[in-house]
Amino acid sequence: MLVLLISFSGNIKKIFIGVNNLVKPENFLSSEWDEYAEDWDTDPTVIEYAKNAFKSLATEVDLHNLSVLDFGSGTGALTEIISPLVNSVVALDSSPKMITQLNAKKLKNVSTITDILSKELIDNNQELMQKFDLIIASSVCSFLPDYPSTLVLLKSLLKPNGVFIQWDWAAESENSGMGLTEKAIEHALLQSEFSDIKIKSPFVMKSSKGEMPVIMAIAKNT
């Protein structure tokens, strides 16, 4: 089976910078991510987040022999952990230098795409013409300019009964300017016609400014 992971480089350091300096998500999307790529994998927060995400992922899905899409893979911190367990991973990220760092790891069952997800990309990229058992998006969705529309595209890439899992910063309210609320996530997933939706708080990250709870959503394409 195939697992697809998509990543927009929604990394921990940038998220903490955003919280501390009140930078809004749309500004992250328009900023230059490449400058962080070279030192990304040495950041202990990035490593801790990926390990925690993997632990919570493993409690929800049997990863063995899956095809996976990593949406907003960045340098592949999570891809690297799951690749020995799955059949294949397609890692998608908009940052060329992040993908360069991932390619340098020479993971045998991982292929990469440097682009932004769109219907045109799906229709014209051979790697995306297949369907995936699993799509993961780690610290990505709250930074998307159109989260519901992106969910529709991601759902189209899933096999029947395929699973979508996202991790994002948990927002206290719809107006907090950072992260997503449980209500917003559930509404978007239902709007995109996902089913068997489950939302929980799997772990908490810490920074010099305090604690940052993470929200996790699991949904199926049925």
What's residue 76's pLDDT?
94
Residue-range domain boundaries for the chain: 3-213
Better-predicted residue by pLDDT, 10 or 72:
72
Q: In this structure, which amino acid lies at residue 218?
A: I
What's residue 128's pLDDT?
97
Q: How far apart are the first and last CA of the chain?
A: 17
Extract the tokens encoding 215: 């929200």
Average pLDDT rounded to a whole number, residues 170-195: 92
Of 65, 70, 58, give the one whose Cα is nearest residue 87.
Answer: 65
**Mean pLDDT, rounded, of the chain:** 86
Residue 152 CA to chain centroid, in angstroms?
A: 15
What's residue 35's pLDDT?
64
Average pLDDT rounded to a whole number, residues 22-47: 58
Q: pLDDT tens, 58-91?
A: 999 999 999 999 999 999 999 999 999 999 999 9
Q: Which CATH number fits domain 3-213: 3.40.50.150, 3.90.660.10, 3.40.47.10, 3.50.50.60?
A: 3.40.50.150
Of 31, 15, 39, give the one whose Cα is nearest residue 139.
Answer: 15
Other C-beta atoms lying within 10 Å of the C-beta of residue 148: 15
